[in-house]
Amino acid sequence: MTSLQLNALDYVAITLFFVGLSVVGYLAGRGETATSHDYFLAGKRLPWYVIGGSMVASVVSTEHLVGMVGWAVLYGISIGMWTWALITDVTLLVFLWLPFLLASRITTIPQFLELRFDGRIRLTFAVVTIILNVFNFMAAVLYAGGLALQQLFGWDMALAIVALGVVSGIWAIYGGLSSVAWTDFFTVAVIAIGCTAVVIFGLYALDSSSLLDGLKVMLDRNAASEGPWLEATVRHQAEFTGAEHYNRLSVFQPNDHLASPTLGLFLSSLSVGIWYNVMNQFVIQRVLGARDAYHARIGIIFSGILFIFLGFVIVVPGLIFFAMHPEIFFQDWSKVQVAADRSYVELVHAVLPIGFRGLVLAAMFGAVQSTVNAVLNSTATIYSLDIYQARLRPNCSDRTLVKVGIWSSVVTLALAIAIAMGVSRLEMSIFYYMQTLNAFFASPFAAAFMLGILWRRMNTTGVIAAVTAGFVAAVLLKLAPGYIEDFPRWATTILNQAGLVLVVSLFAGIIGALASAPPRPEQVTDALTFRWSNREFWSGYGRGPLGSVLTWWVAYLVLTAIVFGYFSPLFFR
């Protein structure tokens, strides 16, 4: 594949993106370094639309544009469930978990864990979060972005990773959460437009008559009922599922599906969902920076609605690429996965005319910078408050905290760049790489968080037992298939393993808590454990039919049901 050619219009699009990003970042970040409250929580001034847009932009990055599209090439429409099944996560966050985060008046999740348990748990979770932020999120995002630039423009991988890292981290360092959130809001619009352009031109490439004709060709070929598409699906079907027939156009997949077992996805709301959407500082920090409970709730629901649309424009390119190039399946599975990771940039190269390529390149830059900014800001927040202030210098000044946040961002960025270069040498789906790391840590900490809120008897000993047992169980599940003959296939998938580890962690946490002294009264207040008297349960729902949180939640529920109903065996067999 030759390097992508750009013309004057492409460079104009890229320039306008960076100019717009710079203006938004500068204006939003002015004066935000005055206090740690401003730098880390944007002074609690974020409106709902910025919260929702920023939550989406911080999550949707090049691991989606590269990795998730690659998974859609491999497995079909069911990969969309990674965004569409968020209805469960959003519902639990809005109506159950959020009241405790608001009532406890925290800045970081480790702070909540100290209030509910003790300082040891706060420190442990802070260290784990920082490590995963660097290894799992930033490294993977920078690698995927570097891969895109290498394939599109022939850049050296190391140079691409360094350039992306440096350019992406500027606004997080300059203006803290306010700059991050507002530039994310700007970026998510660019990502949506750029991804939509790829879908439109991709469908026209399948059939130039009309979009609907192109859509029909895409669906017919992904049905894989004949020709090379059937051969491609059958050739590696054992890698997808042990079922007799594989349906690429159904979101509902059996429990042994490698990437998206339906039951595992929904149950993951209690493991990966809590870890990713509640305990993940770079996602939840913009919620903690909300103007009030109403803006926090509506912002979360808005992010779910955005994810329905973005799920389509991210997954459909994978279906288009499969319709064009089923021949990539005619090689070893490990090579198929690598080829699938390259599918998005190859599709951009093949279908986008000169003049639109700059728009998609801007979207890719935006996807990288939004996630890198979010992770940098959250990592700086946790290091500054949960390690530096809590452990090293408890009496440091507010100004010192901001300086520590800035320098910790710089160090974090340098480490992530170095690790991304190592990730580039792995022969593994980038999306699979990220979810595998999540499987080790998500369930144990999610179990501790859930028990801590819902069960007043849960204590520090229970947390230690839950996390230790869960981590050991995760390691054993990864090793078991290599040592146990006929190990159940369903127990080898990422999400099902997360569910099994969650069960182990819950039992271990309960046993550990019951075998030790109960928590102190100040550790089980209404702000920290479940009780209907918590005022945050009943406030922040808005007024009137159009302004109500419940109205928008129902609308989100209906949209999700339509997606599930259409992409099911009812319409595609």
What Rg value do the Cα atoms of the chain yield, rounded?
A: 23
- Render pLDDT for 513-524 as a digit per residue (tens, 0 to 9): 999 999 999 999
What is the spatial distance between Cα 508 and Cα 458, in angstroms, rounded to a whole number? Answer: 11
DSSP 330: S
Domain containing residue 320: 8-22+33-566
> pLDDT tens across 277-326, in order?
889 888 899 999 999 999 999 999 999 999 999 999 989 999 999 999 99
As separate numbers, helices (DSSP H) first and strands (DSSP E) second, the chain gives 28, 0
Q: What interhelical angle do 357-382 and 281-288 show, nearest 10?
A: 80
- The string of pLDDT tens digits covering residues 482-493 is 888 888 888 877
Model confidence pLDDT, tens digit, residues 330-370: 999 888 988 888 888 789 888 988 778 888 888 888 888 88
From CA 266, how far away is CA 309, in angstroms rounded?
19
CA angle 268, 453, 389 (to 5 degrees): 100
Which class for 553: exposed (0-12), middle (13-18), buried (19 or more C-beta within 10 A)? buried
Using 50, 70 and 90 to split pLDDT, how confident is the model at 196?
very high
Question: Per-residue pLDDT for 219 more than 70?
Answer: yes
pTM: 0.90
Alpha-carbon span 375 to 207, nearest angstrom: 41
* Nearest-angstrom CA–CA distance, 63 and 370: 12
pLDDT tens track for 361-392:
888 888 888 888 888 889 999 999 999 999 99
* Two tokens, residue 343: 């599918």
Report the candidate in 60, 90, 66, 548 with the shortest Cα–Cα distance to residue 309.
Answer: 60
**572: in domain:** no
Phi, psi angle pair for 290, to nearest 5°: -70, 155
Q: Decide if pLDDT at 433 tops 60.
A: no
pLDDT over 80 at 62, yes or no? no
pLDDT for 491: 81
Per-residue pLDDT at 93: 92
**What pLDDT was estimated at residue 381?**
92
| Residue pLDDT, tens place only, 252-279 | 998 888 888 888 888 888 888 888 888 9
Asked if residue 349 belongs to a domain, the reply is yes
- Domain contains 573: no
**DSSP tag of 46:** B
Would you say residue 295 lies in a domain?
A: yes
Does residue 542 fall inside a structural domain? yes
Assess if residue 286 is contained within a domain. yes
**CATH classification at residue 112:** 1.20.1730.10
How much is the pLDDT for 460? 96
Q: What is the pLDDT of residue 439?
A: 62
How many structural domains compose the chain?
A: 1
- Pick the closest to residue 58 from 153, 141, 121 (CA basis): 141
477, with CB counted inside 10 A (0-12, 13-18, 19+), is buried
| Tens-place pLDDT, residues 381-430 | 999 999 999 999 988 888 898 899 888 888 888 888 888 877 666 555 55
Q: Is residue 28 part of a domain?
A: no
CB 553 within 8 A of CB 91: yes
Give the angle 561-562-567 at the CA atoms, nearest 5°. 100
Q: Is residue 390 part of a domain?
A: yes
The rounded percent of the chain whose pLDDT value lies above 70 is 96
Q: How confident is the model at residue 126 (pLDDT cuts 50, 70, 90)?
A: very high
Contact 507, 275 (CB under 8 A): no
Q: How many Cβ atoms are within 10 Å of 286's Cβ, its own excluded?
A: 31
Give the whole-angstrom CA distance, residue 290 versus residue 178.
11
pLDDT tens digits, 16-60:
988 998 899 889 888 777 788 888 888 899 999 999 999 998 888
Q: What is the pLDDT of residue 410?
A: 87
Cβ 326 vs Cβ 231: under 8 Å? yes
Q: Is 258 helix (H, G, I), strand (E, B) or coil?
A: coil
